[in-house]
Each structure stands twice: as C-alpha cells, then as structure tokens.
C-alpha cells in the first residue's frame, strides 16, 4: 500500500493546489482576514455562488487552511500571515505566480513532444506578463528570498566588503537584507527598468536609499561595471543554459576586484540529478517555461565558475531549499 499511497497522493495533488490557488485568486483569504464569515455572507461579498463556495470552504478546512466554527470559517492562525496580502510574512504573490504557472504545466505533453517551452500565449499567460502579473512575479521573488537572504547574511562574512552588485536583483530583497546587516556595505541592484522601478519602492520603504541603489540593465547584453567586492546572483541561473551562466560568470569576474567573491544562489541537484526532489521537479518547471533553463548540479556550477577564473569554493545553505556557491576571483 505504500506505493499506492504515494502514487495516489501525487496523482491527486492538483486538487488541493487548485482549491488553494483559486481561492487566493478570488480574494477568499483577504476577505477572511478581518474575522470569520459564513459561506453565504462571504459569497455575497465576493460575488460568488454560495453553494459552490460552501463546498470549497469545507475542503479548505479539511486540509487545515481554514477552521470551521459553527456555521462560519476563519483562517487557520499559522496560514493567515502567509496568505493575506500586506502581511510582512505574506507568500501571496508567489502563490499567485504558481497559479499562473499551471497554464504551462497543463501543456507539459506539448513540451515533451516538441522540446520547446509553452508559449506565453498559453491560457492564463497572455502574450507577455501584464503589469499586475509582473509585479506579482517580482514581489513573489521577495516572498521566497526574504528568509533565505537573512540566512546568507548570517552565514557569510561581509565585513571586508564595501560594494556589492546584485545581478538580476529583482525587488532588491537580498541587497536590503545585506545592507541592513552590514552598515559598511553599499549595494547596487542591477535589473530591467520595469523591475528596478519596484526595487526603488522597496528601497524607499526600507529607508536605505543612501546605501542601496539601482542600475537599469540586461545581463544578457550589458556589462556589470567594475570595482565590486561581491557579485551576488540569486535564483537566476536556473532560467539559463550553461553558456549564458558562463557569460554571467565572466562578466562578474571583470566586475570584481582581485580576491572579490562571486556568490551564486540556486536550487542545486547532486550529481545523480535525482535529489533533492524539489530541484529535480523545478527543472521541469524550467523546461515548460524557458528555452534552456534547468536546475544545475553543484559540479557543473563549480566547473563554470572555475572556467571564468574563480576558485577556493565554499558552499553555504540559504533557506530550506537553496545553496550558495561562493568562489574567489583569482
């Protein structure tokens, strides 16, 4: 029965995911943030069918996301801060991103037959990301990098560093965490203009505009500047084929002072490429979404960094699922 239980759980896993993500999209959890509501009252507030919502609320309670009290439902205390927009611990943006990714995963068969990612015109994707979708994606990066950036700040000695370049830094989460933890460190968030606009909002809110700046650029075509003590590349390489990751490593080498460090954070596989399971699964996410992305093995990223002139490698954990590979510029 162990094998049957495992397969049943995997085969039906989409059901819980769709119940959770659809409820998030329709505003169920935000509506419950102020207190318990009965299904009919919540349905009227959200413009939904009362009977349909009643069934979904009971399913959410069955898996512990909601708690039923009499005829009403409230958010489970542990889940509430993760699901409600505006909470300092919210994961709502990255969950909305997962909701949109389902449109690609449904077409995995097509990718397996063609070897090509699912086009952005797939249902739920649009011809490209809308401003709201882009913001959800970038803020979702903040959701998942908030804790891991704190782990990196605690594990890595930045005391000798004065300038850090955050390549593809998104909303600037890592730079803000590193700067807050290291008063002598100044950071530059390098990303596309529509993304650095969001980063500047985050920087202003954190009150760190004197030490965290932004630079508009495309790492595929633009140089990184020079004179940096650290180049940080977080959750970028899984979108890229090895040749592009090697290009980033070479640009980082040129941007660093002698002895400077390149730090590449990602979901890494061991050399069997079967573990950890989340990294193997994430490779399939990159298969349906990118031309050449994948989860890298530790051996491959070390080889790429060594080929660009880095050595003296070390590895530190970042969150529950990521690792940071660090190499020194020779």
Question: Do residues 83 and 157 both lie within one domain?
Answer: no
Residues 6 or more apart in contact with residue 124 via CB below 8 angstroms: 99, 100, 102, 103
Do residues 196 and 214 make contact, with C-beta atoms less than 8 angstroms apart? Answer: yes
What's the pTM? 0.91
Residue 311, in any domain of the structure: yes
pLDDT at 144: 86
End-to-end, the C-alpha distance of the chain in Å comes to 55
Residue 40, in any domain of the structure: yes
What is d(CA 18, CA 55) in angstroms, rounded to the nearest whole number?
14
pLDDT at 309: 98
Question: Do residues 197 and 324 both lie within one domain?
Answer: yes
81: CATH: 1.10.10.10
Residue 267, in any domain of the structure: yes
Beta bridge partners of 50: none
pLDDT at 128: 60
For residue 80, report the phi and psi dihedrals to the nearest 5 degrees. -55, -50
Question: Do residues 156 and 55 both lie within one domain?
Answer: no
Residue 45, in any domain of the structure: yes
Three-state DSSP at 119 gives: coil
pLDDT at 124: 40
State which of 88, 109, 129 marks the end of a domain: 88
What is d(CA 198, CA 141) in angstroms, rounded to the nearest whole number?
12
Question: Do residues 171 and 305 both lie within one domain?
Answer: yes
Tokens 């079967």 locate to: 274
Do residues 267 and 282 make contact, with C-beta atoms less than 8 angstroms apart? Answer: yes
Residue 114, in any domain of the structure: no
pLDDT at 178: 98
Instruction: Report the number of distinct structural domains present in the chain.
Output: 2
Do residues 215 and 238 make contact, with C-beta atoms less than 8 angstroms apart? Answer: no
Report the half-sphere exposure of 22 (CA within 13 A, side-chain side): 14
Q: Tell me, rounded to whole angstroms, the distance of Cα 130 from its chain centroid.
A: 18
Which range marks the domain in which residue 54 is found?
Answer: 2-88
Question: Do residues 77 and 197 both lie within one domain?
Answer: no
Question: Do residues 215 and 292 both lie within one domain?
Answer: yes
Residue 113, in any domain of the structure: no
Of 301, 327, 308, nearest in space to 250 by CA: 308
Which residue positions in the chain have pLDDT lower than 70? 121-128
Question: Do residues 287 and 176 both lie within one domain?
Answer: yes
pLDDT at 319: 84
Question: Do residues 219 and 318 both lie within one domain?
Answer: yes
pLDDT at 126: 39
State which of 72, 88, 104 marks the end of a domain: 88
Three-state DSSP at 236 gives: coil
Q: Tell me, rounded to whole angstroms, the distance of Cα 283 from its chain centroid.
A: 14
Neighbour tally for 312: CB within 10 Å: 11
pLDDT at 121: 54
Do residues 228 and 196 make contact, with C-beta atoms less than 8 angstroms apart? Answer: no
Question: Do residues 173 and 279 both lie within one domain?
Answer: yes
State which of 42, 63, 88 marks the end of a domain: 88
Of 326, 148, 294, nearest in space to 230 by CA: 326
State the pairing for strand pair 228-234/256-266.
parallel
**pLDDT tens for residues 83-129?**
999 999 999 999 999 999 999 999 999 999 999 999 875 444 434 67
Question: Do residues 50 and 190 both lie within one domain?
Answer: no
């Amino acid at each position: 029965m162990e094998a049957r239980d495992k397969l049943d759980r995997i085969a039906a896993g989409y059901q819980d995911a769709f119940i959770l993500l659809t409820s998030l999209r329709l505003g169920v959890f935000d509506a419950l943030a102020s207190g318990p509501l009965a299904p009919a009252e919540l349905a009227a507030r959200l413009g939904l069918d009362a009977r349909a919502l009643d069934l979904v609320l009971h399913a959410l309670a069955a898996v512990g996301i909601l708690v039923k009290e009499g005829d009403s439902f409230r958010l489970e205390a542990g889940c509430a801060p993760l699901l409600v927009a505006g909470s300092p611990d919210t994961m709502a943006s990255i969950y909305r991103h997962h909701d949109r990714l389902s449109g690609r995963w449904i077409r995995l068969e097509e990718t397996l037959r063609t070897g090509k990612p699912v086009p952005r015109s797939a249902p739920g994707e649009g011809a490209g990301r809308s401003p709201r979708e882009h913001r959800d994606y970038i803020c979702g990066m903040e959701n998942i990098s908030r804790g891991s950036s704190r782990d990196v700040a605690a594990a890595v000695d930045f005391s000798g560093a004065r300038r850090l370049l955050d390549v593809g830094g998104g909303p600037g989460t890592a730079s803000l965490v590193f700067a807050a933890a290291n008063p002598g460190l100044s950071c530059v968030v390098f990303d596309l203009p529509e993304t650095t606009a969001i980063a500047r909002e985050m920087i202003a809110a954190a009150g760190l505009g004197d030490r965290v700046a932004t630079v508009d650029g495309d790492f595929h075509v633009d140089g990184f500047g020079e004179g940096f003590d650290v180049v940080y590349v977080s959750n970028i390489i899984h979108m890229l084929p090895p040749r592009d990751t090697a290009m980033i490593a070479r640009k980082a080498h040129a941007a660093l002072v002698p002895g400077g460090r390149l730090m590449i954070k990602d979901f890494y596989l061991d050399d069997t490429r079967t573990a950890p399971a989340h990294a193997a699964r994430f490779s399939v996410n990159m298969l349906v979404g990118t031309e050449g992305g994948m989860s890298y093995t530790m051996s491959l990223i070390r080889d790429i960094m060594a080929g660009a002139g880095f050595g003296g490698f070390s590895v530190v954990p970042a969150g529950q699922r990521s690792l940071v590979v660090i190499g020194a510029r020779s």
